[in-house]
Amino acid sequence: MLRTRAVLERLERLRLAPYATRSAGAKREHREPPPGTRTEFERDWNRILHSRAFRRLEYKTQVLPFGVGSDFVRNRLTHTLEAMQIGIGIARALGLNEDLVEAIVMAHDLGHTPFGHKGEEELARCSGDFNHNAHSLRIVRELEHRYPDFPGLNLTLPTLEGIEKHNTDYDTPGAAGFFAGESPSLEAQVAGMADTIAYRAHDIEDAIESGIVPARRFERVPFWREALRSVPRMERSGVWFAQVSRSAISRMITDAIRASDARIRRHRVRTLADVRRCRVPLVGFSPRMERLQKDLAAFLMDEFYLSPQVVRACKRGTDVIRSLFTVYTETPRMLPRKVQAEIRAAGRDRSRRIVADYIAGMTDRFAMAEHANLCESGKEMGFDPTVWKSLEG
């Protein structure tokens, strides 16, 4: 039997938990015909996957900027893919809508600038106002241009809500425009948890892979020691390291599933309306795992994120962003003609916002190439403009 959208929606009703978000009837900002053989949420993540912003994630910093460390450390794209896998697994165990979780996770980092969080902080200083959460939303609502009848990707409101309300240690949502005054869906909460699990576990790997933090130093961290206990005794090789990482991720996922299920039951959540009314997070770690994670986060901050190698690399990135912002605002003719036209149409008072949008859309390597081409200090910082001169923004 052909699985049309109607059939897929009927299957959702049969297999999803009563408090999950159904795709049937999910509204979009701009009206368009419904998909024929996909659900509305499946259409969302398909659109995000094919966007230019998603492809740019490959050369955007996760922790270590492009060119620092080995080829195996994470970038924004690999982090997003890993978080998707974790989110889908948690959603499946809790009976939630996997397509919606996938769409939210795929879009959650689209708004990041080059050079990671330090790059974002510098762009916020330069422009006066920049937040990657809000920028992710602007990308999918306004800045992507793929359709003649509407701006952005025209995603469903539940997906837009999940992007807007994305909440982790490094993502703080502001005032909500979608489902204002209501708690986020369980799918949105799972997306935040998947993001946290992914970067906690994989930052351990990247810290060791890059040589910045020796593996033996992690033995001071209680969570790492617990992960080691379930790994068979073997020579410390790539296989051993992979098994420790696997144990760490599995522990966090299992704990999050069990703790979240217990919270859902404790708060007597039976419908999506119950989720919306509940004023406490329903997806999270157990109190014990939360304490272990805080210890791990503090260790990573001291030993990895604030290490001289990472700080120096990020300093180089912030210098690039500051110089580019100065050049573009003082000499707008340095910008591509399309961006110049946007400034003329919007007016000079909006020029700083448009310049910030343009820089935020750059990859690390394009920003470095542009800096080398436009700023004399680029040569002093070791960037070779001949390597990147053929790249397009």
Residue located via tokens 């760490």 = 248
Residue that is last in its domain, among 252, 285, 308? 308
Angle (CA) 207-72-113 rounded to 5° is 80
Work out the widest C-alpha separation in the chain, in whole angstroms: 66
The pLDDT assigned to 236 comes to: 65
Domain count, the chain: 2
Whether 320 and 368 have beta carbons less than 8 Å apart is answered as yes
- C-alpha separations of 27 from 33, 275, 349 in Å: 11, 19, 34
The pLDDT assigned to 379 comes to: 46
321 and 297 in a common domain: no
Residue 78 lies in a domain: yes
299 and 317 in a common domain: no
pTM summary value:
0.91
Q: How far apart are CA 14 and CA 35, in angstroms?
A: 20
- Give me the CATH number covering residue 11: 1.10.3210.10
Using alpha carbons, select from 383, 283, 390, 355 the residue that is nearest to residue 113. Answer: 355
Convert the pLDDT of each residue in 161-176 to its tens digit: 999 998 877 666 766 7
Supply the DSSP symbol for 181.
Answer: T
Q: How far apart are CA 367 and CA 91, in angstroms?
A: 37
Residue 290 lies in a domain: yes
257 and 162 in a common domain: yes
- What is the distance in angstroms between the CA of the first residue and the CA of the last residue of the chain? 46
The pLDDT assigned to 267 comes to: 97
Residue 346 lies in a domain: yes
Residue 393 lies in a domain: no
Convert the pLDDT of each residue in 6-58 to its tens digit: 999 999 999 999 999 999 999 999 999 999 999 999 999 999 999 999 999 99
The pLDDT assigned to 240 comes to: 75
Residue 116 lies in a domain: yes
320 and 251 in a common domain: no
132 and 69 in a common domain: yes
Residue that is last in its domain, among 287, 308, 329? 308
87 and 32 in a common domain: yes
Type and span of the H or E element at 215: none
198 and 265 in a common domain: yes
The pLDDT assigned to 313 comes to: 85
The pLDDT assigned to 242 comes to: 82
Type and span of the H or E element at 178: none
Q: How far apart are CA 249 and CA 230, in angstroms?
A: 12
Burial class (CB in 10 A: 0-12, 13-18, 19+), 143: buried
353 and 296 in a common domain: no
181 and 75 in a common domain: yes
Torsion of CA 330, 331, 337, 339, to 10 degrees: -10
Convert the pLDDT of each residue in 263-309 to its tens digit: 999 999 999 999 999 999 999 999 999 999 999 999 999 999 999 98
Burial class (CB in 10 A: 0-12, 13-18, 19+), 37: exposed
Residue 258 domain boundaries? 5-308
Q: Which residues contact 375 (CB under 8 A, 6 or more apart)?
A: 323, 324, 327
Q: Within 10 A of 225 (CB to CB), how many other CB atoms are there?
A: 12
The pLDDT tens digits along the chain (393 residues) read: 799 999 999 999 999 999 999 999 999 999 999 999 999 999 999 999 999 999 999 988 888 776 665 566 888 999 999 999 999 999 999 999 999 999 999 999 999 999 988 999 999 999 998 999 999 999 999 999 999 999 999 999 999 999 999 887 766 676 678 999 999 999 999 999 999 999 999 999 899 888 899 988 998 999 999 988 887 776 666 787 788 888 999 999 999 999 999 999 999 999 999 999 999 999 999 999 999 999 999 999 999 999 998 898 888 899 999 999 999 999 999 999 999 999 999 887 889 999 999 999 999 999 999 999 888 544 444 444 343 333 333
274 and 353 in a common domain: no
267 and 327 in a common domain: no
259 and 164 in a common domain: yes
Residue that is last in its domain, among 260, 288, 308? 308
Residue 191 lies in a domain: yes
